[in-house]
Every structure is written in structure tokens, then in C-alpha cells.
Amino acid sequence: MTDMTYPLDLSIVIPLYNEKESLPELVAWIEKVMNENGYSYEIIMVDDGSRDGSWETIKELSAANPSIRGISFRRNYGKSAALFCGFEQAEGKVVATMDADLQDSPEEIPEMYRMVTEDGWDVVSGWKQHRVDNALTKNLPSKLYNATARRITGIKLHDMNCGLKVYRSEVVKNIEVYGEMHRYIPYLAKNAGFDKITEKPVHHQKRKYGTTKFGVERFVNGFLDLLSLWFLSVFGKKPMHLFGFGGILMFLTGFIMALWIIVAKLVHQANGVRFRAVTDQPLFYLALVALILGAMFFLAGFICEMVSRNSAERNHYNIKERL
């Protein structure tokens, strides 16, 4: 890893939406932990278009503690956008993320920080081993979702979506979090070449103020986002490998079926055997569909390949170090 000098030990990025009541208590808790461990730190609070006065509270907290910085969106863009902007501003050699609802404990951060700086991990993800959420609406869907995520990504994390994570700074500076991809930052890190990923069991607490901002639909959306991310990571720079292969296979299947029908007709006709007209056979129309779809798939792969080759990111590579 290239040696770099960072002005701070730790940056804590906190995306939030309508969490005014919890902010003073959260900041006091973080300050206590940071001071006990002697860290130089900053707290970056990203207000994702709150309407409850959260931004005014952040300004008051920042006036009392210069280590607190704030970003305020004009409207609600989502957690991914908040994390992206927070990562851009982070100046610490280690970057931690946590939710603002007091369900994540700042006291977990020092050990996770040590795992990054001393043990050499790129990403340390929190694992809410003993959740205090409703078992039916959150625990069971979360287990199913995480089992699917482990299967598709190959990353053995029990809680991919835990808000409490700690990263080496190079990780967050070399990934782009967008859409709803905040759930899969470890997978984004892996695809960027930062594959030293582990987890740490963390304490999970009940929400003290307000109500949750996420519903059951997040698991459905999360699964769809995971499929999109997997597809882009596997075929994003080589779409012809998927569409071209599938198109050729489908076209050849249709061609062989059509050829078989025509040859069979000619053979029967030459031998004076009764035969069905080609257009009377359902298999002929299946062959036509396969031929058309095969050609369309191949052309789609060709167009995607042209788009990929003209992309500004086509030669973007993460370089580990230089001599």
C-alpha cells in the first residue's frame, strides 16, 4: 500500500434523516469514546433532507465542537448519496460509518479501528449477532437476505447491511456508492480489489427516539440491487461474453431446428411419404423465435460492447503501489 499521510486518525460518517432527538446524545457518546482512546477525529454528519430541525441541531453541535462537520441536502436523496458525500470529505486514515439512531454503539469502534490499522483488514463490518428487532418483520427477512448475499457475492458476512463498519481510507476513496448500493459496500470494495474483509460481533440496541425509516420492501429492493451489482461486476466490461454467447447459442439452436424440419420434409417428399407442411408444425415457429431472439441478443451484446468501449471508466484501474 502506498504510504500516505492523513491529518486525522479517524473519520466518522453519519448519514441521518429526521434524527434530531438522538444527535446530542450520540455526539456526546462518540466524544467520550474518542477522548478515552486519544484519537484525532472528525464527525461528518450528512443530513439527508431532514424536516424535523436536524440541521439546526448539527450546527449547534458543530459550534460547540469544531471536530463536527456537516453536510445538508436540499431534499432526501437516500443513504447511498449521504455516504458518498461523507466519504468524499473524510480526511482520516480510517473511516467509520454508523447510523444516527443510537442502535450502533461507538464503543465498538476502537477495536474495529485496531483490526484495520494493526491486523491489516481493509473492511471490518459489524455483525448484530443478537438483534433486538421484531423477529418476524426484520430478523427472518434479514437472515434470508444475508444468506442470499453471501451466496452471490462470496463474502462470508452475517450482516452485510449493518450500518456500523470501519474501512481503510483507500477503500472509500476508490469506490462509488450510488442508488441503493450502500447495502453492498463490502462487495463494491471486493470488486475494487480490497478483499481483506471480515466482521466483528457488535452490540445492538433498541431505537430510543423516533421510528425506523426502512420498511420490509427494502429486502425486495435489496435483492434486486444485488442482482444488478453482480451482473455489472461480472459482465459490466465484457457484455458480449453474456449476450453474444447466449445469442449465438439461441441462434444455432433455432437454425438446427429449422434445418431439421426442412431436411425431414425433403426426405419424406423424395420417398413419397406423406408429410406435414413446414408452416403447419409448431416446432418451425419455435425455431423462428429462437433465430430472432438469438440475433437480437447478439446485437444487444454488440451495442453494449460499443458503449463499454467508449466509457470514461474503461481504463480505470486501482493501483496498489508504484515504485
pLDDT in tens, 48-97: 999 999 999 999 999 999 999 999 999 999 899 999 999 999 999 999 99
Q: 3-state class of 125 per DSSP?
A: strand
* Confidence (pLDDT) at 115: 97
- Angle in degrees, 0-180, between the axes of helices 217-235 and 140-153, rounded to the nearest 10: 0
Q: How far apart are CA 305 and CA 240, in angstroms?
A: 6
Which of 173, 38, 186 is closest to 114 using CA atoms? 38
Residue with cell 438469438: 294
8-235 homologous superfamily: Spore Coat Polysaccharide Biosynthesis Protein SpsA; Chain A (3.90.550.10)
DSSP for 218-233 reads: HHHHHHHHHHHHHHHH
Residue 28 reports pLDDT greater than 60 = yes
Q: How far apart are CA 94 and CA 80, in angstroms?
A: 19
Domain ranges of the chain: 8-235, 239-309
* Confidence (pLDDT) at 1: 43
Helices (H), 131-178: 140-153, 169-173
* Confidence (pLDDT) at 219: 60
Residue with cell 484501474: 317
Max avg pLDDT among 25-29, 202-206, 279-283, 298-302: 25-29
Strand 165-168 to strand 92-97: parallel, antiparallel, or no bridges (unpaired)?
antiparallel
**How many CB atoms sit inside 10 A of residue 138's CB?**
17
Give per-residue pLDDT as tens, 216-270.
566 666 667 777 767 766 666 677 777 888 889 999 999 999 998 888 888 888 8
* Confidence (pLDDT) at 301: 81
* Confidence (pLDDT) at 152: 81
Residue 280 reports pLDDT greater than 90 = no
What's the pLDDT band for 137 if we cut at 50, 70, 90?
A: low
